[in-house]
Amino acid sequence: MPLARLRPPAAFAGLVVAFAVVMTGTTLPTPMYSLYQGELGFSPVVQTVIFAVYAVGVLAALLLFGRWSDQVGRRPLLLGGLVGALLSSLVFLVAGSVPVLLVGRLLSGVSAGIFAGAATAAVIEAAPQRWRSRAPAVATAANSGGLGLGPLLAGLAVQFLPSPLHLSFAVHAMAVVGSAVLVLLAPETVRVAERPRLRPTALAVPPPVRAVFASAVTAGFAGFAVLGLFTAIAPRIVAEITGVDDHAVAGLVVFVLFAASTAAQLGLRSLPTERALEAGCALLIVGVVVIGAALLVGSLAVLVTGAVVAGVGQGMSFSKGMAAVHARVDPSVRAAVTSSFFVVLYVAISLPVVGVGAASQAWGLLPAAVVFVAAVAVLAAVALAALVVLQRRAARVPA
């Protein structure tokens, strides 16, 4: 007997919930890394590697499965992503060694990589008519909002509830099961191909778009590097540099960064692309300078202020950078260019923070973090300069 499908409004809401639940699970471990480090005795470098292997899973899923949902349907890919999210939470529930933690993070990355494309498309396609114009913004909110909720909710649980290394993952596992039911009951939003052509996603940056791509992706790299820093070692920064040994506060700091990014992507989406991209780079520079000042003076309030400004800058530079690239690329290669863009961004969220871990082990956390934010400021400044040059050249070209 076939399942009774949800009506469009309920299906749309269910897909949004599933998207948010999966993304929340990817950042749940943030307030727990220091606890794992104390329990298992690994180094700061290993801590950042445990975080960064998540990006390996995301990239693998994006490249291998990025376009499969167009062929086999959204629901099978989403269910596969939910299986990955469930397995990740179950692995963390029994984690007692570094290899097991690495497996959990890798599975989490795979689930996020699958959802990043398939869930975004499914949410937009499933939107009822009155929500159609707002559906992309809703998908953005589910993605970035879920990423921000993970550290906040887990930080509260770690600080105030029992079983700090287990409760969050047990609750998340149950939420994933509930989300799977919602996805199962949602109607398929694309026509399934009779003979699916399941190929890895191609990477490409055509010559006409390379200049804009380079400047936009440089800004994106800087912004995602900040996301990686906060998601990986914000609890260490809050405890060791500002002197606030509170997991809930550490989770709140990360949440503020993601919330500011999400708000910027949603609230400023009507701004002209080029000017907003330049403004995003400028705000990112200001934000990381404020973060650097917070590190030097050891102030939590200044750190939160820097997180807000940098989050707004990151959200604007990411969303408007993607829009600038899409506006100049032929639709036939848009997926390949988008994949190339995300490959760079997920390298940014992983490799630099591993470098911070290694540097903190050699020099200490404060010098390593200060050097990191200085490098991010330089990258954002380079991107801003390149964008200004491109704008001036475009202005000199006759219409």
243 and 172, same structural domain? no
The pLDDT tens digits of the residues spanning 101-122 come to 999 999 999 999 988 888 888 8
pLDDT-derived band at 16, boundaries 50, 70, 90: very high
Instruction: Give me the mean pLDDT over the 295-322 stretch.
Output: 94
- Burial class for 162, CB neighbours closer than 10 Å (0-12, 13-18, 19+): exposed
Domain enclosing residue 297, as ranges: 202-399
Res. 396: pLDDT tops 70: no
Of the ranges 56-60, 151-155, 195-199, the best mean pLDDT one: 151-155
212 and 79, same structural domain? no
75 and 222, same structural domain? no
Domain boundary among 170, 195, 220: 195
305 and 281, same structural domain? yes
Contact yes or no for 139/19 (Cβ under 8 A): yes
- The predicted model scores a pTM of 0.92
166 and 128, same structural domain? yes
256 and 319, same structural domain? yes
pLDDT-derived band at 1, boundaries 50, 70, 90: very low
387 and 262, same structural domain? yes
Res. 2: pLDDT tops 70: no
Q: How far apart are CA 345 and CA 325, in angstroms?
A: 14
390 and 262, same structural domain? yes
For 130-144, 189-203, 226-240, which range has the lowest pLDDT when averaged over its residues?
A: 189-203
Domain boundary among 161, 180, 195: 195
290 and 168, same structural domain? no
Cβ neighbours for 63, distance < 8 A, ≥ 6 positions apart: 200, 201, 203, 339, 343
Which one has a higher pLDDT value, 168 or 204?
A: 168
Q: How far apart are CA 270 and CA 164, in angstroms?
A: 42
Contact yes or no for 35/216 (Cβ under 8 A): no
Report pLDDT for 50.
Answer: 94
For 7-21, 147-161, 215-229, 329-343, which range has the lowest pLDDT when averaged over its residues?
A: 329-343
What domain count does the chain have?
Answer: 2
Give CA separation, 72 vs 141, 156, 182, 195, 198, in Å. Answer: 26, 39, 19, 9, 9
Report pLDDT for 399.
Answer: 47
Res. 32: pLDDT tops 80: yes
Look over the chain and give the mean of its residue pLDDT values, rounded to a whole number: 90
pLDDT-derived band at 137, boundaries 50, 70, 90: confident
Contact yes or no for 322/190 (Cβ under 8 A): no
Instruction: Give me the mean pLDDT over the 364-374 stretch.
Output: 95
pLDDT-derived band at 397, boundaries 50, 70, 90: low
Report pLDDT for 118.
Answer: 85
Q: How far apart are CA 30 and CA 122, in angstroms?
A: 28
297 and 364, same structural domain? yes
Q: What is the CATH number of the domain that holds 234?
A: 1.20.1250.20
126 and 78, same structural domain? yes
Q: Where are the alpha helices (DSSP H) in the chain?
A: 8-27, 33-40, 44-65, 68-72, 74-94, 98-126, 135-160, 167-185, 210-236, 247-267, 273-297, 300-328, 334-348, 351-363, 365-396
The pLDDT tens digits of the residues spanning 226-270 come to 999 999 999 999 999 999 999 999 999 999 999 999 999 988 888
Report pLDDT for 321.
Answer: 87
Report pLDDT for 3.
Answer: 59
The pLDDT tens digits of the residues spanning 22-31 come to 999 999 999 9
Domain boundary among 195, 221, 245: 195
The pLDDT tens digits of the residues spanning 267-291 come to 888 888 888 889 999 999 999 999 9
245 and 217, same structural domain? yes
Which one has a higher pLDDT value, 295 or 206?
A: 295
pLDDT-derived band at 325, boundaries 50, 70, 90: confident
Q: Give the three-state DSSP class for 147.
A: helix
Report pLDDT for 90.
Answer: 97
For 160-164, 238-242, 385-389, which range has the lowest pLDDT when averaged over its residues?
A: 385-389
The pLDDT tens digits of the residues spanning 200-232 come to 777 788 888 888 889 889 999 999 999 999 999
